[in-house]
A and B are shown apart, each in its own frame.
Chain A
Amino acid sequence: MAGHSRSEGRSAAALVMKLRALIALALLAVTFSLLSPEFLTASNLSILVKHVAINAILAIGMTFVILSGGIDLSVGSIAGLCGVVAGGLLSRGLELQAFGVVIYFHTWLVVAIALAVGMAVGALNGWLVARLGVAPFIATLGSLYVARGAALLTTGGATFPNLAGSAALGNRGFAMLGAAGVLGLPVPVWVMALLAVAAIFLAAYTPFGRQVYAVGGNERAALLAGVRVGRVKLFVYVISGFCSALVGLIIAAQLGAAHPATGQTFELNAIAAVVLGGTSLMGGRGTIAGTLVGAFVIGVLADGLVLLGVSEFWQMVVKGLVIVLAVVLDQFQRRSS
């Protein structure tokens, strides 16, 4: 009898541990709605989710990389570069000096080009890691600098303002990416939702997803089991590059301006969301859903503290404490299991 109830207690504790990020999120939401009457209004929540989307989209891509046993430090720089590429193509066009012409692309083509640039940088990361065997930390640290430098070179350090486009050139409508969309929800929220569904499906229900876990869990075993490790690694960085490009486009669309320094330290926020969501930095263990919860914890904390008028310095302290606490809990869970 006693043994039975003890095991029940243990499983309840295990459940709390497992859902700790979700519980933390609920606690934060309750606290902020008690402290600020505006927190739980529909318009504030809509804006909150829109703010979360930026980090969540990066963190979804980052989750695949970390699950495979890697890390991607270049996400913020790729976002900055892709924003600037789109901004430049919209406001200045592509100037071909040899032919003396300036080509303006349709808005959707500009978006596609920017996404392709993000995926290309991701592919470069993947190639360095998978083919040349460069440590992911070093490979992506390199592209962090190269992509940022490229973004700054593209604009000469300046900002591309006024990305509204013009009807004559047929490139209007870029701002839509950051504005309200179907059902009144902002487009970035829809992008995040669609991406999350696709990522959950990809990670949990496809051979590719299982291979990512296998490579991160035990690369040698995966290789012996016939997994094409190199190709899996290449793909996770391409996914991350794609997500980074999406973020760069969304930020440029929201601000109506593309600044080459956009996205500095974004990689750290994305990694924090992944870790908060219970994904192991060693790879092979974690979920996309967990990452989403992690991104929401960070976002709710940031917006809630602004709403309460807490100083920027305290916001940083609190964010740091929450991240460390989450990892401490993670250690407890692993030791007990």
Chain B
Amino acid sequence: MGAGTRRLTRCFVLLCCAALSPACSSGTGSETAADPGRARLIAVITPSHDNPFFKAEADAASARARELGYEVIVNVHDDDANKQDQLIDVAIARKVSAIVLDNAGADASVAAISKARAAGIPSILIDREINVTGVAAAQIVSNNYQGATLGAEEFVRLLGEKGSYIELVGRESDTNAAVRSRGFHDVLDKYPDLRMVARQSANWDQREAFQKTETLIQANRGISGVIAGNDTMALGAMAALKGAGLGHLVVVGFDGSPDAIGSIKAGEIKATVLQPAAYIARLAVDQAHALITKGSTGQPEKQAIDCELVTQANAGEFGIFQRISKEAR
């Protein structure tokens, strides 16, 4: 038993050394920026990659950072503010030059970002804002409200300004769910002949949207359409409508995910609103680079990037969360 314990202890010590060594070696240098001979490090932290949106963000950010000569560490916080806090601790310990962060909560993330700032590490936020300014170096988000009004206007046009509809809302504790719903209603509520007959949260989830739509159309078979706060819910609603022989109804989503664009091309869901997530992620890395090399991002802290409407007419012009440039096509 004594030998076993000793061996375990030795393993543990070795592991600790391995974990600490990058921090140790860079600790002797003059902090972060002033060492051009060695590749600097950028941390990219996003929610789980099981959503293609966040994977696209992380992929675009790390590709751009490598182009600019950085090393990259990519991590996911699974929308857990505590895990995010630990990942930021690790980033501080490894003395990264900047953190590109899609955060785990508008209030819950503030302390962790302040901690990085106190350690001299700037954070560039993407996709989601936080509820304070002056802590992050930049907050670049897609304009969810503008996007929602775009989607709602197309929904109204497709319905011919009349009829009843169901709204599927995202997770109600998520700021973007509320902002998108407000954008939808600021347009939809202007039309007196348009009536919302049911509104349910499906928590951004495809299966939940499928089941809830199946149940809701029992009470509302006369509806003309479903408007959903994201694409996975729109696809779930579409599957339920098809199963009920109502596949011709108007379904509009939000995000511009590759699956939704595929569905639009196949003539199933009618429209979605594309968030330029890949573009925003690259922009964030560019601004981090400007900050590291020139001392300023050259931009205001809060930046909103407009979304684009995707319909059957223009679906071919879009790739993975971005418009495909003419040359690439």
Query: A306 to B212, Cβ gap below 8 A?
Result: yes
- The reply to whether B48 and A307 contact each other, CB–CB distance below 8 Å, is no
Among A6-14, A256-264, A288-296, the stretch that binds chain B is: A256-264
| Contact (Cβ within 8 A) B206 A259 | yes
Judged by a CB distance under 8 angstroms, whether A31 is at the interface is no
Taking A44-B218, A309-B199 as contacts, is the C-beta distance between A159 and B207 under 8 angstroms?
no
A51 touches B214 (CB 8 A): yes
Chain A, interface residues (CB within 8 Å), range: 20 to 34
Q: Does A162 contact B (CB under 8 A)?
A: yes
| Cβ-defined contact, B210 with A254, below 8 A | yes
- Interface flags, B218-246, vs A, CB<8A=1, else 0: 11000000000000100110010001000
Does B50 lie within 8 Å of A260, measured CB to CB? Answer: yes
In the complex the two chains form, what is the Cα distance from A142 to B232 in whole Å?
Answer: 29
B-side interface mostly: helix
Q: Inside 8 A of A260's CB, which chain B residues have their CB?
A: 50
Chain A 134-160 interface mask (CB, 8 Å, partner B; 1/0):
000000000000000000100011110
In chain A, residues 299-337, which have Cβ atoms closer than 8 Å to a Cβ of chain B?
Answer: 303, 306-307, 309, 311-313
Closest to A312 in B: B201
B210 closest partner in A (C-beta): A255
Which residues of the partner chain B approach A255 to less than 8 Å between Cβ atoms? 206-207, 210, 235-236, 239
By a CB distance below 8 angstroms, the chain B residues around A81 are none
CB pair B198–A309 under 8 Å, yes or no, is yes
* A43 at interface, CB cutoff 8 A: yes
Q: For residue B201, which residues in chain A have a CB less than 8 angstroms away from its CB? A: 311-312
Count of chain B residues near A, Cβ 8 A:
30
> 0/1 per residue, A154-171, Cβ < 8 Å to B?
001111011000000000
Q: Is the CB of A306 within 8 A of B49?
A: no
Q: Which residue of B lies closest to A263 (CB)?
A: B207
Residue-wise, chain B 48-81 has the 8 Å CB interface mask toward A (1 for contact) of 1111100100000000000000000000000000
CA distance A161 to B207 in the complex (A): 14
What's the nearest-Cβ distance from chain B to residue A45, in Å? 9
Min CB distance B237 to A, Å, is 11
Is B290's CB within 8 Å of the partner chain A? no
Q: Does A38 contact B (CB under 8 A)?
A: yes
Residues in chain A within 8 A of chain B (CB atoms): 36, 38, 41, 43-44, 47-48, 50-51, 152, 156-159, 161-162, 178-179, 251, 254-257, 259-262, 303, 306-307, 309, 311-313
Beyond A254-B210, A257-B259, 12 additional contacts (C-beta under 8 Å) are A38-B219, A47-B214, A51-B211, A152-B49, A157-B52, A159-B259, A161-B262, A255-B236, A256-B239, A303-B215, A307-B216, A311-B172
Can you give 6 contacting A-B residue pairs, CB < 8 Å? Answer: A51-B215, A161-B263, A255-B207, A255-B210, A309-B198, A312-B200
